[in-house]
């Protein structure tokens, strides 16, 4: 599903440079913000079930913490790269700033494939990761969370290891934990719901009734599934879902022009978002090529998988019917597509605004852990909706006032907030 030759870090820096030019940013501030403040590279020896020891490469990158502790997930992926993590740490800085929460940007990762590892091997890997960075993370330093192919159980093992090393209880050191163990209600749904809160606001300004719209979706992990659930609950119709097939090592698009039953589709996928082909076809789905999700005659495109999925080559397939592109994934669109999006008059909700529901709810989890008082699910989702709606409206207002592309407007707000913090601290 990825596009070879594209570097997410170059993408992140290019997007930053474009906006730095718009706001005439000082050279010293540019140099500070276009690269991470700190990087930790390390090896993790893990005793495997067969008695052998395997060495894994791990990373934790802190882009900027001027506005508060670094915040960002830890991914497990066999093709993970350091530049991907650098890019994601930058995007986390802007993401926290655009929704105006007092956190900075960080990201972590391990080059591994948890799908081929036993539960015990995964636990030992998680604990080994924390042993390497225990001095560099913490509730007031850097707060990790789940990301691609990591979950609440992984986070709990990591928290437990951190607490054993430091000799105390530190529930605020990590978010995305299971409910009842310091996790927040609503966290599972938060990122996907945030995508749809943004979509709802976009459709309002375009004067389009969501109940009259159709959508095509890339990905069917946690973000995509809950985005699909809320979108269909609000009356929208999803006709296509593209996802990776772990067995065949390729992507497929599942299509039903009458509309996919999201509940049914969720019931036939595994924990990594792979939909069972045979069961899907039995439910009336057509089986298409993995990239065909982008070519559907729909009103809305929802890329909710990995970075660099929408390139000039794939964008050429986009239907003239498409009115809105909501970037549920991090960096799904390459910079050379932005002019194409504008030319097609597609309304863009940029990634670090669109998918900021996850980090916003992680912030809520941190607050709840630090106060040892937990909110109801309704309260969490209500606060999330309020925060996401306010962020969208601020970005849209600036875009209208200054005649800016939505991505640029979001960046202007986010970068200006970080620049202010950096200058007030006297770093530049």
383: pLDDT strictly greater than 50: yes
**How far apart, in whole angstroms, are the C-alpha atoms of residue 34 and residue 87?**
10
| Same domain, residue pair 193 and 332 | yes
| Same domain, residue pair 72 and 207 | no
Confidence of residue 330 (pLDDT cuts 50, 70, 90): confident
Which residue, 378, 169, 150, is CA-closest to 272?
150
Q: What percent of the chain has pLDDT over 70?
A: 99
| Same domain, residue pair 137 and 256 | no
Question: Mean of the per-residue pLDDT values for the chain?
Answer: 95
pLDDT tens readout for residues 32-49:
999 999 999 999 999 999
| Same domain, residue pair 71 and 150 | yes
Confidence of residue 148 (pLDDT cuts 50, 70, 90): confident
Name the residues annotated as catalytic.
107
When divided into structural domains, the chain yields a total of: 2
Distance between alpha carbon 164 and the CA centroid of its chain, in Å? 30
Q: Residue 213: its pLDDT value, please?
A: 98
* Token pair listed for 343: 């030319």
Q: What percent of the chain has pLDDT over 90?
A: 91
User: Is 28 a member of any domain?
Assistant: no
4: pLDDT strictly greater than 60: no
pLDDT tens readout for residues 347-367:
999 999 999 999 999 999 999
| Same domain, residue pair 93 and 165 | yes
Distance between alpha carbon 353 and the CA centroid of its chain, in Å? 10
**DSSP assignment, residue 179?**
B
| Same domain, residue pair 201 and 123 | no
Q: Name 260's bridge partners.
A: none
> What is the 3 state secondary structure string of 375-412?
CCHHHHHHHHHHHHHHHHHHHHHHHHHHCCCHHHHHHH
User: Is 418 a member of any domain?
Assistant: no
| Same domain, residue pair 131 and 235 | no
| Same domain, residue pair 247 and 343 | yes
Confidence of residue 3 (pLDDT cuts 50, 70, 90): very low
Confidence of residue 2 (pLDDT cuts 50, 70, 90): very low
pLDDT tens readout for residues 152-200:
999 999 999 999 999 999 999 999 999 999 999 999 999 999 999 999 9
Q: How much is the average pLDDT of 270-296?
A: 91
| Same domain, residue pair 198 and 347 | yes
φ/ψ (deg, to 5) at 311:
-120, 170
* Residues 302, 215 contacting (CB under 8 angstroms): yes
1: pLDDT strictly greater than 70: no
Sheet holding 324-326, edge to edge: 286-289, 250-255, 237-245, 214-218, 300-303, 324-326, 347-349
The pairing of strands 250-255 and 237-245 is: antiparallel
Which residue, 408, 207, 194, 232, is CA-closest to 324?
207
pTM of the model: 0.92
Of 304, 323, 354, which one is at a domain's C-terminal end? 354
User: Is 326 a member of any domain?
Assistant: yes
User: Is 386 a member of any domain?
Assistant: no
CATH (domain of 42): 3.40.50.10860
* Token pair listed for 107: 């990201």
Please, which residues have CB within 8 angstroms of residue 266's CB and are 6 or more apart in sequence? 220, 225, 229
User: Is 7 a member of any domain?
Assistant: no
Which residue, 209, 138, 196, is CA-closest to 168?
138
User: Is 338 a member of any domain?
Assistant: yes
User: Is 176 a member of any domain?
Assistant: no
pLDDT tens readout for residues 243-282:
988 888 899 999 999 999 999 999 999 877 889 999 999 9
Of 354, 370, 402, which one is at a domain's C-terminal end? 354
Please, which residues have CB within 8 angstroms of residue 426's CB and are 6 or more apart in sequence? none
Which structural domain range is residue 257 located in? 189-354
How many Å is the maximal CA-CA distance in the chain?
63
**How far apart, in whole angstroms, are the C-alpha atoms of residue 185 and residue 378?**
9
User: Is 399 a member of any domain?
Assistant: no
Q: How much is the average pLDDT of 333-359?
A: 95
| DSSP-derived secondary structure for 19-70 | HHHHTT--HHHHHHHTS-SEEEEEEEEEE-TTS-EEEEEEEEEEEE-SSSSE
Confidence of residue 98 (pLDDT cuts 50, 70, 90): very high
* Token pair listed for 248: 């065949």
**How far apart, in whole angstroms, are the C-alpha atoms of residue 255 and residue 253?**
6
């Amino acid at each position: 599903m990825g596009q070879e030759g594209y570097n997410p870090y170059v993408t992140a820096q290019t997007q930053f440079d474009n906006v730095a030019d718009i706001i005439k940013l000082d050279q010293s501030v540019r140099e500070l913000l276009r690269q991470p403040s700190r990087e930790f590279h390390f090896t993790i020896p893990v005793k495997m079930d067969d008695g052998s020891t395997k060495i894994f490469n791990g990373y934790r990158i802190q882009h900027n913490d001027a506005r508060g502790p670094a915040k960002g997930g830890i991914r497990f992926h066999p093709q993970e790269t350091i530049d991907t993590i650098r890019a994601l740490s930058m995007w986390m800085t802007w993401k926290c700033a655009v929704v105006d929460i007092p956190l900075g940007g960080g990201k972590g990762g391990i080059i591994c494939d948890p799908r081929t590892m036993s539960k015990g091997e995964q636990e030992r890997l998680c604990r080994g990761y924390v042993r390497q960075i225990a001095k560099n993370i913490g509730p007031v330093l850097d707060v990790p969370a789940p990301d691609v192919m990591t979950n609440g159980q992984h986070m709990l093992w990591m928290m437990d290891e951190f607490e054993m090393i430091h000799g105390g209880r530190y529930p605020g050191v990590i978010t995305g934990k299971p409910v009842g163990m310091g996790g927040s209600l609503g966290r599972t749904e938060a990122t996907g719901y945030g995508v749809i809160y943004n979509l709802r606001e976009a459709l309002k300004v375009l004067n389009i009734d969501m109940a009259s719209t159709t959508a095509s979706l890339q990905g069917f992990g946690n973000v995509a599934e809950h985005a699909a659930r809320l979108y269909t609950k609000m009356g929208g119709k999803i006709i296509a879902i593209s996802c990776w097939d772990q067995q065949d090592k390729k992507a497929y698009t599942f299509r039903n022009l009458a509309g996919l039953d999201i509940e049914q589709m969720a019931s036939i996928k595994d924990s990594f978002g792979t939909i069972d082909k045979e069961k899907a076809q039995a439910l009336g789905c057509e089986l298409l090529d993995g990239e065909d999700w982008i070519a559907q005659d729909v009103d809305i495109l929802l890329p909710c998988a990995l970075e660099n999925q929408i390139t000039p080559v794939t964008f050429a397939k986009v239907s003239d019917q498409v009115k809105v592109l909501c970037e549920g994934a991090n960096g799904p669109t390459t910079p050379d597509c932005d002019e194409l999006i504008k030319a097609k008059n597609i309304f863009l909700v940029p990634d670090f605004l669109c998918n900021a529901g996850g980090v916003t709810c992680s912030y809520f989890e941190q607050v709840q852990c630090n106060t040892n008082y937990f909110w109801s699910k309704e309260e969490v989702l209500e606060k999330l909706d309020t925060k996401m709606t306010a962020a969208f409206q601020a970005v849209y207002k600036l875009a209208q006032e200054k005649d800016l592309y939505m991505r640029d407007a979001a960046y202007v707000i986010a970068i200006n907030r970080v620049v202010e913090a950096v200058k007030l601290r006297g770093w530049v």
